[in-house]
Amino acid sequence: MQELTQKQKEVFDFILATLREEGNIPSVREIAAAFGFASTNAVNTHLDALQKKGYISRRPGQNRNIEIAPDYLIPQRGIPIIGRVAAGKPIDAIENLDGYLDLDSIYDREQHFALKICGDSMLEAGFWDGDYAIVRHQPRVETGEIGVAVINGAATVKRFRWLDDGCLMLIPENDSYQPFTVDADSDLQIGGKVIGLHRVLK
């Protein structure tokens, strides 16, 4: 993708911003007004340049017909992950970008949910009081995995162990707590497997 001039970048950013904030694409005259151009043709040459460089395309015979190239259409989500900090460079100039930390792209929304941890029964497994456990909703959790058990409507995060008789033993990861077995007559549902953790400090 070719480089843009300063002005071209400004025009392109304006189109993107308008699309995001107003919900539709500006007309050439609106762009001209925003930049103080007296002629719509000033906009047009910029649009021609943007089109030639692959940033936009235009639908012939339509109003507000600018199409943003797919690469730029999807707003980048998440917080930037910095891999290494370049020697001598200030951090503001993020150069060694390793992608973005975006929960939606890691955990798809249909299969996952978050559960707030109450208490410190899983402290040694790294779950603190107030943390969010990120759970993949699935019907089976194997022995040794950390999962969510819903017993009579109350959800708990514990390490699972299936006993020979088919009963479920839930094992806390904190010496102050004792493992316990779920009664056969309890209403047990499997919430899913814990596959992530998010903590907001202080």
Partner DNA sequence: TTGACAATTGAACATTGGTTCAGTATAACA
Partner DNA sequence: TGTTATACTGAACCAATGTTCAATTGTCAA
What residues line the site for a copy of itself (CB under 8 A)?
19, 22-25, 27, 62-68, 73, 77-92, 94, 98, 101-104, 106-107, 109, 112-116, 126, 128, 132, 134, 137, 146, 150, 152-155, 187, 189, 191-192, 194-202
Nearer to DNA, 67 or 102 (CB): 67
Q: Which of 57, 89, 116, 121 is catalytic?
A: 121
Nearest-approach distance from CB 117 to a copy of itself, in angstroms: 12
Residues 45, 51, 56: CA angle, nearest 5 degrees: 120
Which of a copy of itself, DNA, none lies near 200, with the C-beta cut-off 5 to 8 A by kind? a copy of itself
| 16, 19, 34, 37: which one binds DNA (CB under 7 A) | 37
Which of DNA, a copy of itself, none lies near 44, with the C-beta cut-off 5 to 8 A by kind? DNA
Count of other CB atoms within 10 angstroms of residue 169: 15
Count of other CB atoms within 10 angstroms of residue 194: 23
Question: Measuring CA to CA, which residue among 72, 92, 100 is closest to residue 8?
Answer: 72
For the question of residue 116 being annotated catalytic, the response is: no
For the question of residue 158 being annotated catalytic, the response is: yes
Residues 189, 154 contacting (CB under 8 angstroms): no
Site for DNA in 46-85 (CB under 7 A): 46-47, 49, 58, 60-66
Which of DNA, a copy of itself, none lies near 58, with the C-beta cut-off 5 to 8 A by kind? DNA
Could you give the CA distance from residue 179 to residue 140 in angstroms, rounded to a whole number? 20
Question: Measuring CA to CA, which residue among 194, 144, 191 is closest to residue 169?
Answer: 144
Question: Measuring CA to CA, which residue among 107, 118, 130 is closest to residue 172?
Answer: 118
Could you give the CA distance from residue 183 to residue 167 in angstroms, rounded to a whole number? 7
Nearer to DNA, 60 or 90 (CB): 60
Q: Which of 7, 9, 158, 186 is catalytic?
A: 158
Query: Can you say how many angstroms the Cα of residue 113 is from the centroid of all Cα atoms in its chain?
Result: 13
Binding status of residue 143 toward DNA by CB under 7 A:
no
Which of DNA, a copy of itself, none lies near 137, with the C-beta cut-off 5 to 8 A by kind? a copy of itself
Residues 193, 137 contacting (CB under 8 angstroms): no
The three-class DSSP label of residue 12 is helix
Binding status of residue 7 toward DNA by CB under 7 A:
yes
Question: Measuring CA to CA, which residue among 134, 125, 131 is closest to residue 106?
Answer: 134
Instruction: Give the catalytic positions in this structure.
Output: 121, 158
Applying CB under 7 A, which residues contact DNA?
5-8, 27-30, 32, 35-47, 49, 58, 60-66
